[in-house]
Amino acid sequence: MANGYLGVDCFFVISGFVISMSFQYYSPKLSIYDFLSKFYANRFKRLYPALILCIGISLFLFLLIPITHPKELFSTATFSLLGLANFYLYITNLDYFSLDSQLNPFTHTWSLGVEEQFYFLFPLLALSIGITRFDFRYRYKLKMIGLSFLGLLSFCAYIYKSGSDPSAVFYISPYRFWEILLGAISFYMASNQSQKSRSVNQVKVFLVFLLIVLFIVPLNMPAVFYVTKTCFITAYLLFLIKSASEYPSTKILSYSGLRYIGKISYSLYLYHWIFYVFIGIVVGHSTSSLLASLIFTVFLASLSYHFVELRLRSYVNRYKDIKIIALGLLVTLVLSCITYYKLPSLSLSYKSTLSKSYGISEMLKGKEVKCHGALAIKKLKRPYKECLGYNPNGSKGDIFLLGDSHGAQFYFSLKKISERNKSEIFFMNTEDMNHFPYSFWNKENASEQDIIKTTLRNIETGDYLIIAFHRGYLNKNRDKHLSMNIEIKTNTQTQNFIHNMDKLIEKLKVRNVSIILVLDTPLLPQVSSIETCLFRSRIWGNNDCRIQKSQDLHTRRRQEIAYLKLKEKHPNTVSI
C-alpha cells in the first residue's frame, strides 16, 4: 500500500484509546503522588526492558557488519533511550524517507518518543479534568471539553504548520498529540453510551466498511487529508468495537491468535524495522529475504514478550514504584552515555578488523562541504553571505553550484577547477523544503527566497550557474525506480520546475551567465550504500546492486524532459 506509513497514525489513535482505558485500573482513592508514581512506574516497566534489550541486540548485530556506522546511528539509539528520538531527527533534519534513514535501524523510534512525551504529560492533564476517576457520570462534560479543546488546538497547529514545515508536523510531538487525544475521546464517548444506545445496526457496520474502502482507494489528495481521514476512521472503528462488543463482527477481535498479536505488538514494533534494515544490508531486499525478516521479527518479539516483558515485569513488581522509576532513570542514563560516547570509537576500531578479514578496503571519509545541510548552516553567523558571497567580486568564471546532496558531491571537483582558473566557487543547500531547489518543484510560483536573491545579487557576466539534484524529486517515489511499463509524462513537479527555472534563466540571460544542468548519477535498484554492495559481494559472491542502463534512464526521464525544454528555449543553457 502506497500510504503504508499511515500505520503510525493508527498507532497513535489506538494508543490514546488504550492509555485512557488503563485508568480504570487505578483506584480513585489514590493520592496524587501515588497515582503519578504508579503511572510512571508502569510506563517504565512496560516500555524500557524490551527497548533496552532491542537496542542492545541491534547494536551488537550492526557492529558485526564491516561497514562504516555513522555517528547518527549511535546518536539515534541514544535519544531513543531518552525518549527524544523524534526531536533529534527533526533537529538533524533527517528525512524519514532518505537513504540515511533507510540504513538507520533506529529511525522508527521517533514515534515511541512522541508516545513517551505524551505519557509524561497526560496523567497531569488527567488529574486536572477528572479523567482518573472511572465514574463516567463524574465531570464527563469537563473531560470531553478539556480533551476536545487540546485536541483541536493541536490539530489546528498541525494544519497550519503542515504547509511551511512538514518535517516539524511529522516529528514534533505537539503536532501529533491530537491523534492520541482523538483515541482518548473515542474511548470516553464509547464508555459513556447507555445500554440502549450500544445497539449498532448493520447500516453502521456497512458505513465502516465503506470508510475502509475509501481509505484504501488512492486519491490525488494532500498528505494532510490522508492522515486526518486515517485517524478519524481508526477512532470511529474503536468507538464501534467498544460500543458493540456483543456483536459477532467485533467479537472476532477476541480470537486467541489476534489477541496474541496484540500482546507482542510492542516488541513487533521494536524489531520489525531493525531486521528489515539488517537483512537489507546483509542479503538485500527480495521476497524471500523479507519473509525471513518477518519470521525473525515474530520469533524475537515472542521471546521478548515472554522472557523480558512478562518475567522482568513480575520481578520488579516487588519494588516500590518510586524505586522502579529511579532505577529506570539511572539505567537509562548510564546506557545512553555508553552508547553516545563509547560505542562510536569502538565501532571504528572493530570495523577496521572486520573489514580486513573480509578483504574490504576502508572507504576514506570525505571532507564536509561547508554550506551543505541544516546543521552546517546553523553553525554560520551570516550563512547566505558566507556561502554565496558578500558582494559581486568583479571576477569572471565564478561557479555558483545550487542543488541538494547530489549537487554537493561535485563541490570538491569544481573547487579544483575554480582554483586552477583563479576563480571562486559558491554552494549552499539548507535542506529546507521552502528553499531552492525544493521549492522549484513544490510550488508553481516559487518566491525568490534568500538563496536565489543572494545568487542573483552576486552572479556576474561570465559566471556559471550549475544545477544538480536528485532525479527522484520529480517522481512519486524519490528512491525507487519506475516500472518500464509506465509511459513517462510530465507531472506537476516537473511543470513547476520548468516554469520556475524558466523565470530564473530569463533574469540571467542579460548578464551572459552560462547555465549548466547536471543529469543525476545512476540510482541503485534498492536503497543501499556502496559499502553494503561490496560486503554482499564478499559474502555471497554477488549482489543485487547492479542496474540496467535502460531502467536508470527510464527513471531519470522526467529530469531529462525538463532539461531538454529549458535547453531548447535558452541558448545559454546546456545539460550534461
User: What are the Cα distances from residue 307, in Å, to 262, 390, 546?
Assistant: 17, 63, 42
Q: What is the model's pTM?
A: 0.78
Rounded Cα distance between 572 and 462, Å, is 11
Please say whether the beta carbons of 109 and 48 come within 8 A: no
* Beta-bridge mates of residue 399: 425, 464
Q: Is 373 left (phi over 0), alpha (psi -120 to 50) or beta?
A: left
Whether residue 437 is preceded by a cis peptide bond, meaning omega within 30 degrees of 0, is yes
* Beta-bridge mates of residue 466: 401, 516
Question: CB-based contacts of 262: which residues, under 8 Å, 6+ apart?
Answer: none
Total Cβ atoms within 10 A of residue 13: 27
Q: Given this model, what pLDDT does residue 202 score?
A: 46
Strand ranges in 112-222 using DSSP code E only, listed in sequence order: none
> If you ran DSSP here, which 8-state letter would residue 474 be given?
G
Strand ranges in 128-277 using DSSP code E only, listed in sequence order: none
pLDDT in tens for each of the 576 residues of the chain? 344 467 889 999 999 999 988 887 777 777 888 888 989 998 988 899 999 999 999 888 887 776 666 678 899 999 999 999 999 988 887 666 666 667 788 999 999 999 999 999 988 888 877 665 544 455 677 778 888 999 999 999 999 888 778 888 889 999 999 999 999 998 888 877 654 454 444 445 555 655 655 555 455 556 777 888 888 888 888 887 777 655 555 566 567 777 888 889 999 999 999 988 888 888 877 788 889 889 989 999 999 999 998 888 777 777 888 888 898 899 999 999 999 998 888 777 666 565 666 666 655 565 778 888 888 888 888 888 889 887 776 678 899 999 998 999 899 999 999 989 889 999 999 888 888 998 899 888 887 778 898 999 889 888 999 999 999 999 988 888 898 998 888 899 999 999 999 999 998 988 889 999 999 988 888 766 677 777 777 777 777 778 889 999 999 999 999 999 999 999 899 998
Rounded Cα distance between 375 and 358, Å, is 35
User: What are the Cα distances from residue 515, in Å, to 15, 63, 97, 218, 563?
Assistant: 52, 45, 30, 39, 11
Q: Given this model, what pLDDT does residue 530 score?
A: 72
Rounded Cα distance between 503 and 95, Å, is 29
Q: Given this model, what pLDDT does residue 66 score?
A: 62
Cell of 345: 570509537
Rounded Cα distance between 181 and 16, Å, is 6
Q: Given this model, what pLDDT does residue 210 score?
A: 54
Reduced to 3 states (helix: H, G, I; strand: E, B; else coil), residue 283 is coil
- Please compute Rg for the chain using Cα positions: 27
